[in-house]
Amino acid sequence: MSRASPFPFVREGGFGENFGVFCFPRVWDKTSFPAQNTSCTPPASCDIICQNVEWRAGRLRNLVSVEDITIERWDALYSRCCDMIANPGEYVDSCRGKVLASLFYEPSTRTNFSFQAAAMRLGAGTFGFSDSSTTSISKGESLADTIRVAASYADTVVIRSKVEGAARAASLYSPVPVINAGDGGHMHPTQTLADLTTIAQRRGRIENLRVGICGDLKYGRTAHSLIIALAAFPGITFRFISPRDLRMPDYSLDFLRTRGIEYEESTLLDESMPELDILYMTRIQEERFEDKDEFDRLHGTYVLTKNLLERASGDMLIMHPLPRDGEILPEVDSDNRAVYFDQVRNGMFIRMALLFDFLQLPRITPSPPESDKRAICRNPVCVTNKEPYLPPLNAADGGCGYCDK
């Protein structure tokens, strides 16, 4: 039975020709999974879901940086996510017997709950902590050892930390995939997946969008991740709206500059409003401020009200990774442009799509780079300044390979 692709990101001939995919039957069983069906020619020949073999073949073993999400991987992930939304019953046993470990060193509501719910909806089990003081970490156990232990019991490890680069460091020592659920003010790739899913769902395509990002752009990891991901799509321009003291960091602006992506900076929300297709509001990140008075001064700089929204276009999406702390008034919630609770729900489905792949990957023997030198980084909240055994790791642009600074 043939099936036209309902997925806006699958380019013509996409799955079969460009990515070298294999297929598996929609109702799959152990014998047809994982890689035996390499000769299937999608999408015309059978009712299948296709997936990017590159992803499964291990080139993406970890989701540590949002730069790991190429357009091709996004296409594959989003198409599976759409199928999961449409046919959730077909996935209920797809990861039975698999186990997810969730290590949350920092508070979380949506990310932690949604990963757990995602695993359960695939039939997998979960364990973990949301308060590291209840584990041997409080006895001084290193990150590398904690990961090795968690990975001994699990098939994928999700980690959130206030330390930047923690997920990258963890991935060096883990025999199973590591997913970054937020590392300090650095990145939050799975929030970005939830954001992209919501944009794609509402807009049909991710292209030719004027995206305003407002609030704490200095410490807001969701903003840092989102711009990197959106930069891969055609015709995206940015307007960054923040107090001067909370501007987008130079390393993020450099990323856009070197790719020729247009952006503007502003301190004013109201004047930006009429020009935007998307307004992505963010919380001022109190927990990252060293100076409480500085936070008090900046908190409340931007408040999105019904009144202010009158200046915006009728189809501008209002997004927020949540939690909000006064920057979007509850009166905005009933506006049909407000999609922040869609982001929450989509976050679970896209994490299901991710776990569906990762939980099935074979274990490896980790081989962290060997060096008699230790990594040095000038960023005080970089993992290299907390975990002294880490080997040096350089990013492609010469920055720190753990935190990008």
Least distance to ligand ASP from the beta carbon of 114, Å?
11
Long-range contact pairs involving 385-389 (C-beta distance under 8 Å, separation at least 24): 386/143, 386/163, 387/142, 387/143, 387/144, 387/169, 389/142, 389/144
Least distance to ligand ASP from the beta carbon of 333, Å?
17
Residue from 224, 239, 283, 386 in contact with ligand ASP (CB under 6 A): 283
Neighbours of 266 (CB within 10 A): 13
Q: How far apart are CA 73 and CA 71, in angstroms?
A: 5
* Site membership for ligand ASP, residue 351 (CB under 6 A): no
Q: Where are the beta strands (DSSP E) in 228-296?
A: 236-241, 263-266, 278-281
Closer CB to ligand ASP, 213 or 322, in the complex: 322
Closer CB to ligand ASP, 121 or 221, in the complex: 221
Closer CB to ligand ASP, 79 or 180, in the complex: 180
Q: How many residues at the interface with ligand ASP, by CB under 6 A?
A: 8
- Residues across the chain: 405
* Binding to ligand ASP in span 190-209, by CB under 6 A: 191
Nearest CA among 47, 33, 38 for reference residue 86: 47
Q: How far apart are CA 109 and CA 371, in angstroms?
A: 38
Least distance to ligand ASP from the beta carbon of 248, Å?
15
Closer CB to ligand ASP, 90 or 325, in the complex: 325
Least distance to ligand ASP from the beta carbon of 152, Å?
27
* Site membership for ligand ASP, residue 221 (CB under 6 A): yes
Q: How far apart are CA 119 and CA 251, in angstroms?
A: 34
* Site membership for ligand ASP, residue 182 (CB under 6 A): yes
Closer CB to ligand ASP, 126 or 191, in the complex: 191
* Site membership for ligand ASP, residue 224 (CB under 6 A): no
Local structure of 39: helix, strand or coil: coil
* Site membership for ligand ASP, residue 42 (CB under 6 A): no
Annotate 269-298 with b (16+ C-beta within 10 A) or e (fewer). beebbeebbbbbbbbbbeebbeeeeebeeb
Closer CB to ligand ASP, 24 or 280, in the complex: 280
Mark 287-326 with x for binding to ligand ASP (rule: CB under 6 A) and - for no binding.
----------------------------------xx----
Burial of 325 (0-12, 13-18, 19+ CB in 10 A): middle
Closer CB to ligand ASP, 49 or 382, in the complex: 382
215 touches 282 (CB < 8 A): yes
Closer CB to ligand ASP, 22 or 104, in the complex: 104
Residue from 188, 218, 239, 386 in contact with ligand ASP (CB under 6 A): 188
Closer CB to ligand ASP, 161 or 174, in the complex: 161
Residue from 51, 62, 174, 222 in contact with ligand ASP (CB under 6 A): 222
DSSP codes joined into one string, 305-351: -HHHHTTS-TT-EEE--S--SSSB-GGGTTSTTB-HHHHHHHHHHHH
Mark 226-265 with x for binding to ligand ASP (rule: CB under 6 A) and - for no binding.
----------------------------------------
Residue in the block written with tokens 């509850």: 330
Tokens of 173: 């020592």
The site for ligand ASP (CB under 6 A) is made up of 182, 188, 191, 221-222, 283, 321-322
